[in-house]
Chains A and B, each alone.
Chain A
């Protein structure tokens, strides 16, 4: 297994602009910190190996190796990742209405997991408007305080590192695909000799096509609205093609074309739309407001989903076949675009090679990407 140190992390991830600011390397040691959406190295560190590099989702991500280890199956061109079921879901009667975005499925699952005692806390991304911050929630009230979509990646995993260092016990993480990937790296490359930081007990992944650079978005919005007045942000279902910003003064719709430049280059290389490394994944349900798409990936996830329905946190319905086909198609598109972009930048490799790479796949998949078969 390839592992290198912080200087290589800077060279391979920070300097080429591939850092997404997930927080995985933050606060594991005194060197990496996160501020204003950026992960920075405060002082030079010359250690030859480190968790910072090992657990980064943007370098030496051996997708084939991870899939074999965590799924017991090869990593394929199929974009959804393994799953037992895809259902329509929304928050049940026990969740206070009106406090959540879309269907409230994430909040409902977190509340259920806490109530079940499956985890003792949940690492969520809280804050309002532009001011996002990861938080540890241990009660439904704290969970609800964090609800609502954010469109910039937050250093959520820094909060996990902090909580684990303080001996938080088993926690779940609500993660973007990149964060879920970072957590998968932790399963594959455990490092118990350096303290308590490690994988999460449960990962609820979010669908994500791209995010927006926090400093870029802040600068962009600052020219249009008072930043303090922003209440929330949302992307309405297609074909709207806008980012809607709700402020105390009213709402503002920004066409995607205007913010495309704010999408970090790391998002273009991402092959994962549905948080395939999570236990459950939650996303938008196109064409059915107030509902989510819920992907149940393993037995632990199935048990939680059933318990959540049983306890009145969650309501599920069948997910229409046509919608699932559409979802698979979209995920496949993201997969092929991401692997293609990595290949184009010479950042795609095959498992077992020495040359540093961001992503590694099996030789078969590599050839398929190279020949354009995946696209």
Chain B
């Protein structure tokens, strides 16, 4: 495979770089667009002698990876942008203490929030916590830079942050892989030295003043290396009209835009791979080229602000510059970039005629869409247990009739904020925050609030961040109900194992940690129900709402319809009996298709009756309990 150019997904390239660097331990928590990195490393674990785990959350994964580094093994930790927030408290202290063997934190941002409920920027952590930041701009670089990040980490004795974005992590491009070294070296933690002995003493960020100075010296050393790094490059004429400074996948957008505008001889591009701290000499050399600078980047104007600070500091040498970027609106402040947006920005500055998407395009698209496509919102899969769960929770809250509501959380079930989950979620913020917010709402009865409050959590989210919130609710006697939607895996990101599963990331058997037992041990009352049993689930939820004395837990346990354990099998054969279905004569007003809304059900215009689409139907049989006429027949599969 060596020397041959292969097509790799960005996350695969990062994996390859880590393997070429001789990574021994990797840990992370699933989150789009980062998940394939740990998944791929787990796949390579046997062959290359790695330990890889899906940790309970990002903070613990960083701690697991740090331990390996302390014991002399190169380690990698991967997470999505907001995962860095979760890990950041540990990261602050780790940055202060420093590490031993090379350690890389790969954090994948999701500009435009394609698979997120935030458009978080994680590069700020590098500046805030004083760590070096790398940003690969294509697939080869993703591999090469990851490998080099380990060397840099060891050179300076600190964690190195490497940022990818969705369009790098999930797109594919050419990569020439290198050799993967044989695993070697015994893990051993040397702790007999003094506190000041960074190679042999106890690991701590204290004494703080001393360690902080050390940390800043490490950063200064990184800057020295960045001055000559091949990951920073200038392309273009010696004295361009405009200097574009960019990083990450935006570099490809800029390249494409300049070719399309035929402006490569007018515009120079400084592509930065080492984006924090910025190397001042390199920057000065390039800023001296011209008087106009456009910074092209996604999410927050991180690069732009840092370039401006550097330009101000060297104003005596380079003079005043005219800056374009996010801060003056040349580049949009939110959402993903694409070549068209960059084209528009460049054409504007260069005064070139270029029609980006015509203004009436969006209007025309809106008009054309309903004719060409189904009018369809994001929806739970056919046979999804969440649909059944929210159907029953909706019924229970309606019957309770006190304007109760549900605090949502992060997972597939976040979709319950939309029509597919009957719009049942009324708050949706961070991992674990549904239970925490519900714990707070529960205390507001003393101020006259008479609405009952529920929280939902997936099983993986339960372990990740709900447990402290639940302990809080139990201890503070907050009358909230937590509903754990246990579909037995981290479904949304691709069925990664979690502490409740019987196998770990490597497929080895591990003891599952039982959610029910945890809740009971906290003193919470626990009910367990199968959400496919609508009647029992609604009754259980109503009972929770009726008892407002304490924190309670309802576990709704049913395998995800797509779960590998289900292996695509149907529980039931489901059919509509056309004799029993009364169609629009029923008075049910198409309850099954109009309200319940499983994609496996269709309303047949010709017959004016409901029909099961057996290709789509997952065979959960829940709709048989929804039909008031008993016209939907489910039969056990032979």
A residues whose Cβ falls under 8 Å from a Cβ of B = 28-31, 33, 35-36, 38, 40-47, 50-51, 193-195
A42–B395 touching, CB < 8 Å: yes
Specify which of A28, A29, A51 lies most central, judged by the most chain B CB atoms within 10 Å of its CB. Answer: A29
A-B contact pairs, 12 of them (CB 8 A): A29-B587, A33-B399, A35-B400, A36-B400, A38-B399, A40-B399, A40-B401, A42-B394, A42-B398, A43-B422, A43-B595, A47-B587
B395-A46 in contact (CB<8A): no
Are B589 and A46 touching (Cβ within 8 A)?
yes
A residues in contact with B394, CB < 8 Å: 42-43
Which residues of chain B have C-beta atoms less than 8 A from A31's C-beta? 589
Contact digits for B585-599, partner A, Cβ 8 Å, 1 yes 0 no: 111110100010000
Distance between Cα atoms of A147 and B591 in the complex (Å): 38
| A30 neighbours in B (Cβ, 8 Å) | 588, 591, 626, 628
Q: Which residue of A lies closest to B628 (CB)?
A: A30
B398 near A45 (CB under 8 angstroms)?
no
Which residue in B395, B400, B587, B591 is a CB contact (below 8 Å) of A28? B587
Report the Cα distance A44→B589, complex, angstroms: 10
Bound-complex Cα distance A28 to B401 (A): 20
The reply to whether the CB of B542 lies closer than 8 angstroms to some CB of chain A is yes
Provide the bound-state CA to CA distance between A35 and B589, in Å. 22
18 extra interface residue pairs, beta carbon distance < 8 Å, beyond A29-B588, A30-B626, A194-B585: A30-B591, A30-B628, A33-B399, A35-B399, A35-B400, A35-B401, A35-B542, A36-B400, A40-B398, A41-B398, A42-B395, A42-B398, A43-B422, A46-B589, A47-B589, A50-B587, A193-B585, A194-B586
- Provide the bound-state CA to CA distance between A42 and B588, in Å: 12
A43: nearest residue on chain B (CB-CB)?
A: B595
Q: Find chain B residues with CB under 8 A from A193 CB.
A: 585
A36 to B400 Cα, complex, angstroms: 8
Q: Are B399 and A43 in contact (CB under 8 A)?
A: no
8 Å CB contact of A194 from B542, B587, B591 = B587
Contact call B401/A36, Cβ cutoff below 8 A: yes
Question: What 0/1 readout, one digit per residue, does chain B (417-447) give for beta carbons within 8 Å of chain A?
Answer: 0000010000000000000000000000000
User: With A and B bound together, what is the CA distance between A52 and B163 in angstroms?
Assistant: 60
CB neighbours of A40 from chain B (8 A): 398-399, 401
Residues of A within 8 A of B588 (CB): 29-30
| Residue from B400, B401, B586, B595 with most neighbouring chain A CB atoms (10 Å) | B401
Q: Which residue of B lies closest to A195 (CB)?
A: B587
CA distance A45 to B422 in the complex (A): 14
Name the distance in Å between B628's Cβ and chain A's nearest Cβ: 5
A161 to B190 Cα, complex, angstroms: 79
Chain B interface (Cβ < 8 Å from any Cβ of A)? 394-395, 398-401, 422, 542, 585-589, 591, 595, 626, 628
List A contacts of B626 (CB < 8 A). 30
Chain B min CB distance to A302 (Å): 38
Q: Are A36 and B399 in contact (CB under 8 A)?
A: yes
Q: In the complex, what distance in Å separates the CA atom of A28 from the CA atom of B595?
A: 17
Per the bound structure, the CA–CA distance linking A29 and B588 in Å amounts to 6
Q: Do A38 and B589 touch (CB < 8 A)?
A: no
- Chain B residues with Cβ below 8 Å from A50 are 587
The distance in angstroms between the C-alpha atoms of A44 and B628, with both chains bound, is: 16
Give the dominant DSSP class at B's interface.
helix
Complex contacts, B628 vs chain A, CB 8 Å: 29-30
**Whole-angstrom CA separation of A41 from B589 in the bound complex:** 14
A43 and B542 CA atoms in complex are apart in Å by: 17
A279 CB to nearest chain B CB (Å): 29
The CA-CA distance from A337 to B281 in the complex, in Å, is 92
Cα A254 to Cα B125 in complex, Å, equals 66
* Alpha-carbon separation in the docked complex, A344 to B209 (Å): 78
B395: which A residues are within 8 A, CB to CB?
33, 42
Closest 4 A-B residue pairs measured CB to CB?
Answer: A35-B399, A38-B401, A30-B628, A43-B595
Nearest B-chain residue to A193, judged by Cβ: B585
Inter-chain contact A42/B587, CB cutoff 8 Å: no
Rounded to whole angstroms, the CA-CA distance of A347 and B591 in the bound complex is 33
Is B591 a contact of A43 with CB atoms below 8 Å?
yes
Measured CB to CB, the closest approach of chain A to B596, in angstroms, equals 9
Per the bound structure, the CA–CA distance linking A195 and B586 in Å amounts to 9
What's the least CB distance linking B451 to chain A, in Å? 14
Q: Which residue of A lies closest to B591 (CB)?
A: A30
Q: Which residues of B contact A194 (CB under 8 A)?
A: 585-587
**Residue of B395, B399, B586 with highest tally of chain A CB at under 10 A:** B399
When distances are taken between beta carbons in the complex, the residues of chain B under 8 Å from A36 are 399-401
Q: How far is the CB of B452 from chain A (nearest CB, A)?
A: 12
Q: How near does chain B come to A278, taking the closest CB pair, in angstroms?
A: 28
The smallest C-beta distance from A322 to any residue of chain B, in angstroms, reads 46
**How far is A194 from B588 in the complex, measured between Cα atoms in Å?**
10
Report Cα–Cα, A33/B394, bound state, in Å.
13
Docked Cα-Cα span, A33 to B400, in Å, equals 11
Shortest Cβ distance from B574 into chain A, in angstroms? Answer: 18
Minimal beta-carbon separation of A7 from chain B (angstroms) = 11
The docked-state distance in angstroms from the alpha carbon of A50 to that of B595 is 18
CB nearest neighbor in A for B596: A43
Q: A38 CA to B542 CA in the complex, in Å?
A: 14
A29 / chain B contacts, CB cutoff of 8 Å: 587-589, 628
Which of A40, A43, A46 has the largest number of chain B CB atoms within 10 A? A43
Identity of the chain A residue whose Cβ is nearest the Cβ of B627 in the assembled complex: A30
Q: How far is the CB of B163 from chain A (nearest CB, A)?
A: 45
State A28–B589 Cα separation when bound (angstroms). 12
Complex Cα distance, B546 from A35, in Å, reads 11
A30: min CB distance to chain B, Å: 5
Q: How far is the CA of A325 from the CA of B411 in the complex (A)?
A: 70
Q: Which of B586, B587, B588, B628 has the most CB of A within 10 A?
A: B587
Cα of A44 to Cα of B394 in the assembled complex, Å:
12
Distance, CA A47 to CA B422, complexed state (A)? 19
Residue on B nearest A52 in the bound complex, by CB? B587
Question: Given B399, B542, B589, which contacts A42 in the complex, CB threshold below 8 Å?
Answer: B399
In the complex, which of the residues B586, B626, B628 has the most CB atoms of chain A within 10 Å of its own CB atom? B628
A261 to B587, CA, bound (A): 37
Question: Complex Cα distance A50/B394, Å?
Answer: 23
What separation, in Å, do the CA atoms of A374 and B142 have in the docked complex?
A: 89
CA A29 to CA B542, docked complex, whole Å: 21
Question: What is the bound-complex CA distance between A294 and B591, given in angstroms?
Answer: 45
Contact of B400 with A45 in the complex, beta carbons under 8 Å: no
A53 to chain B, nearest CB (A): 12
In Å, the complex CA distance between A128 and B131 comes to: 71
Which residues of chain B have C-beta atoms less than 8 A from A42's C-beta? 394-395, 398-399
- Which residue of chain A lies nearest to B422 when distances are taken between CB atoms in the complex? A43
- Chain B residue at minimum C-beta to C-beta distance from A33: B399
> In the complex, what residues of A have CB within 8 A of residue B586's CB?
194
**Cα(A55)–Cα(B400), bound, Å:** 24
- Is A45 within 8 A of B399, CB to CB? no
Provide the bound-state CA to CA distance between A12 and B622, in Å. 34
Residues on the A chain within 8 Å of B591, using CB: 30, 43
> CA–CA, A38 to B545, complex, Å?
15
What separation, in Å, do the CA atoms of A45 and B584 have in the docked complex?
A: 13
- Residues in B with CB closer than 8 Å to A45 are 589
Bound CA span A47–B595, Å: 13
Nearest opposing residue in chain B for A37, CB measure? B401
Contacts of A51 in B (CB 8 A): 587
Closest to A5 in B: B589
Q: Which of A41, A44, A45 has the most CB of B within 10 A?
A: A45
A1 to B587, CA, bound (A): 20
User: Could you tell me the distance in whole angstroms from the C-beta of B8 to the nearest C-beta in chain A?
Assistant: 49
CB distance from A365 to the nearest CB of B (A): 35
Q: Whole-angstrom distance between the alpha carbons of A42 and B589 in the complex?
A: 13
In the bound assembly, the distance between CA atoms of A76 and B240 in angstroms comes to: 97
Interface centre among A38, A42, A46, A51 (most CB of B within 10 A): A42
> Closest CB of chain A to B398's CB: distance in Å?
5
- Report the minimum CB–CB distance from B377 to chain A (whole Å): 16
Which residues on A sit within 8 Å (CB–CB) of B589? 29, 31, 45-47
Shortest Cβ gap from A213 to chain B (Å)? 12
Docked complex Cα distance between A154 and B586 (Å): 27
- On chain A, the residues within 8 Å of B587 by CB distance are 28-29, 47, 50-51, 194-195
A29 to B595, CA, bound (A): 13
